[in-house]
Amino acid sequence: MTATAYIAIGANLGDAQAAVREAIAALDAIPGTRVAARSSLYRTAPVDAQGPDFINAVVAVETALAPLALLEQLQRIEQAAGRERPYRNAPRTLDLDLLSHGAAQMATPALTLPHPRMNERAFVLVPLAEIAPHRVSPALLAQVAGQPIQRL
């Protein structure tokens, strides 16, 4: 059995556009997982963070991996991209957030599904609406309309 999972991608250090594109390729290379859809790239100012603007995207993957196993693979890709976590919301070479995994609902110290803050962020909702409009209501988009986001 496979599940459709949605993953938010962001980077704001180094060549962020290249980092996001390389992350999409790395996601497609995870065993038992394939990228089914990918959004455009977007530029956004940091939210609850500092540093340069972010490059963001969202992908849909079809995966045979369970949520925690997929999370482990996402963290492996982040580490390979040089991700460091010196403090909360630090600038980053790559950030991969598992937004949802099929109908899974969970709250563990390692993972909460669906992602608890995804509906508060234009940098998640706008690219998600591009690839999965059925997942994002007009009301949710209206709530984040004041957050600047630029499609590249």
Active site residues: 83, 92, 95, 97
Instruction: Using the structure block, give the residue that is written with the tokens 């980053």.
Output: 92
Helices 16-28 and 67-80 cross at an angle (nearest 10°) of 140
**Which secondary-structure segment (H or E) carries 54?**
strand 54-63
Burial of 8 (0-12, 13-18, 19+ CB in 10 A): buried
